[in-house]
Amino acid sequence: MKYAPIALFVYSRLGHARETVHALKNNQLASESDLIVFSDGPRSDRDVESVKQVRQYILGINGFKSVSVVLRDQNLGLSRSLISGVSQVLETYDRTIVLEDDIITSPFFLQYMNDGLNYYVDDERVISIHGYVLPVKYTLPETFFLIGTDCWGWGTWRRGWALFNSDGRYLLNELIKRKLVRQFDLDGAYPYTRMLKRQINGKNDSWAIRWYASAFLENKLTLYPGRSMIQNIGTDASGTHCGINRDYDTSISSEPIKVGGIDIIHSSRGYEAYRELFLKMGGASRVRRVIQRLLAFVRRRQKHGRV
């Protein structure tokens, strides 16, 4: 079997980075895998010490076939750091597994990812392998495909990453021109288009929405596990782009995932499970926003002695 190198992106969260690496080292294939760690430079003087602590830690990582560390002199931001880092890895290797510093992996994560990357390496219909699955209500197949891509514990090949287009405006125009906006938004279940517009307008710096749009416009498929191989611990408000959100919490599978033996088509079952959960989350989010506004209103009135 061919083992993909792991590209790990870290910044200033020492505790998260330690947890991520610890879980990754517990994978059965860690000792067979090259690890390449990209450390972004501090954004401001306030981050200098925390970035330094993370760098001291990553320079001492062991337990992998090899460990390489790339220390950025300047702050690129997560988006530029990841895009350039993945591109750099794929100049040398024909595939890679990509993790950020808030992803806890199952001991079988690397096995699943490498199985997928090896099994579908020559199938142009498949653009990536993904390790996370939403906490949907229904039992899903062992593995299934969805059109597009995802961003929590994933892998791709050089041929797949070659389709990535960083021009958000171009991607949006294509979605509109081809009348694919509603389909892109899972038939209105999730505001991906709004996220893309915000990226264009500089209100977020998401590489992931552009990766998804790039694959979606090419009608490419991503393989998902029926049980999650990862848990994201960055939704605790410590991340660059995250607030506290437990909607995406899930249990990590304690068993391996069998790859292969399924039709290479968009899964209607997986799609409907995702769409239903997103619709439910959207309703819950609206309720939370109303409650937050009411609480803010009450606090303002209390401050002015009106309650």
Q: What is the mean pLDDT of each run of 10 residues along the chain (307 residues)?
A: 98 98 98 99 97 99 99 97 99 99 98 99 99 94 98 98 99 99 97 98 97 99 98 67 62 96 98 95 52 46 42
Please indicate, yes or no, if residue 257 is contained in any of the structural domains: yes
Please indicate, yes or no, if residue 47 is contained in any of the structural domains: yes
pTM: 0.90
Please indicate, yes or no, if residue 40 is contained in any of the structural domains: yes
Please give the pLDDT value at position 281: 87
**Apex CA 4: angle with CA 229 and CA 163, to 5°?**
90
Under 8 Å CB-to-CB from 306, ≥6 apart: which residues?
none
Strand stretches in the chain, DSSP E: 6-10, 34-39, 66-71, 95-100, 103-105, 126-130, 143-147, 154-157, 221-225, 230-232
Helix (H, G, I), strand (E, B) or coil at 10: strand
Count the domains in the chain: 1
Q: Please provide residue 131's backbone torsions phi and psi, each rounded to the nearest 5 degrees.
A: -100, -15
Residue position matching structure tokens 């792991």: 6
Please give the pLDDT value at position 246: 72
Please indicate, yes or no, if residue 248 is contained in any of the structural domains: yes
Closest residue by Cα to residue 257 from 294, 228, 287? 228
Please indicate, yes or no, if residue 53 is contained in any of the structural domains: yes
Domain that holds residue 245: 6-163+218-300
Please give the pLDDT value at position 82: 98
Closest residue by Cα to residue 230 from 158, 160, 161, 151? 151
Please indicate, yes or no, if residue 180 is contained in any of the structural domains: no
* Domain harbouring 61, CATH code: 3.90.550.10
Strand stretches in 137-205, DSSP E: 143-147, 154-157
Helix (H, G, I), strand (E, B) or coil at 163: coil
Please indicate, yes or no, if residue 177 is contained in any of the structural domains: no
